[in-house]
Amino acid sequence: MTSEYLDGVLAIERVSFPTPWTRHSFLNEIYNNNFAYYYVALAGRQVVGYAGMWIILDEAHITNVAVHPHYRGRRLGELLLKVLMQEAVRLGADRMTLEVRVSNRPAQRLYERLGFSRAGVRKGYYNDNREDAIIMWRHFFEENGLGTGNYYSGH
């Protein structure tokens, strides 16, 4: 993601979240946060989705994933998440976490399909309505009994 894509990202952000991030927030993430990695999905030159994460030491934390309403149901969210997971491993992460609204069952099902497991709840996490968030984790490497980890794709 670069600033040239921000108008499209912000349009998706506004229709996807009750409390959308600002242009300043995204600019700060992509240009000033050394832990941040953001990606866009394009249809031609139109931004149709985006996703971001922070990599801190060996952990990846998904900050946001969104797909334009006209492009939902085409597995773009899944593709963006797979890109994040692949990049997280490439950048040295061995696990990934995220928070998801308790009411967002479609997202929870997607995360579970990609190997994420529920690990807890953050009470009143979302500022707009104090909704709880489910904490989910995905471990990329599992022990094979010989003391070395193998990449685990979850499929």
Instruction: Indicate the class that CATH gives domain 3-151.
Output: alpha beta
Report the 3 state secondary structure along the chain: CCHHHHHHHHHHHHHHCCCCCCHHHHHHHHHHCCCEEEEEEEECCEEEEEEEEEEECCEEEEEEEEECHHHCCCCHHHHHHHHHHHHHHHCCCCEEEEEEECCCHHHHHHHHHCCCEEEEEECCCCCCCCCCEEEEEEECEEECCCCCEEECCCC
pLDDT in tens, 60-86: 999 999 999 999 999 999 999 999 999
List residues with catalytic annotation: 99, 111
Q: Domain extents for the chain?
A: 3-151
Give the global pTM. Answer: 0.87
